[in-house]
Amino acid sequence: MIPALRLSDIWRMIQYELSQLQDNPPWLDVLRAYSEAAPNEEGWLTRVSGVEGIEDEDLPRIHGKLIAFGFLDFQLADRHEGVFYQLTSLGRQGLIRLRDNADDSEDATAEELAESDEIVDEIAVDEEVAEDAAAVAPG
């Protein structure tokens, strides 16, 4: 039987991921570029290019890190359209929580903080589901 993760464990993982984002400013710049782009009708974005201060040859590596850490999601389209991207809830939370590093004079709005708190609520629900599954699993 796989033990269920405690909320505190999940919170520590999220904090680690956010610290990685904070320690790598180019990652944050790429996330900001996605947050400022206009999505298609399905909510997906085309790949950003030409991010100020980031060499084009560094973008593939940064995209890979953002996907690996859960800040960006991707969808493979057909070979004519390529790959589409989308900020994940963790990516949005990272932008909100780390925004103060970029602009200390601006506070997060109540709406942004509420959205950030929704992430914690989603994790708590996931933890409850995992505990319920563990309780009924044969073992």
Question: Using 50, 70 and 90 to split pLDDT, how confident is the model at 58?
Answer: very high
pLDDT digits over 72-107, tens only?
999 998 778 888 999 999 899 888 888 755 554 344
Residue whose token pair is 């004079």: 105
Q: Which residues contact 52 (CB under 8 A, 6 or more apart)?
A: 29
Q: How far is CA 128 from the centre of its chain?
A: 22
- Domains recognised in the chain with CATH numbers: 7-132 (1.10.10)
Of the candidates 68, 60, 74, 70, the one whose C-alpha atom is nearest the C-alpha of residue 26 is 60
Question: Using 50, 70 and 90 to split pLDDT, how confident is the model at 31?
Answer: very high
Whole-model pTM over 0.85: no
**pLDDT greater at residue 76 or residue 125:** 76
Average pLDDT over residues 18-41: 90
pLDDT for 132 equals: 53
**Would you call 104 helix, strand, or coil by DSSP?**
coil
What DSSP element (H or E) covers 52? none
pLDDT for 108 equals: 47
What DSSP element (H or E) covers 21? helix 7-23
| Contact of 64 with 85, CB cutoff 8 Å | no
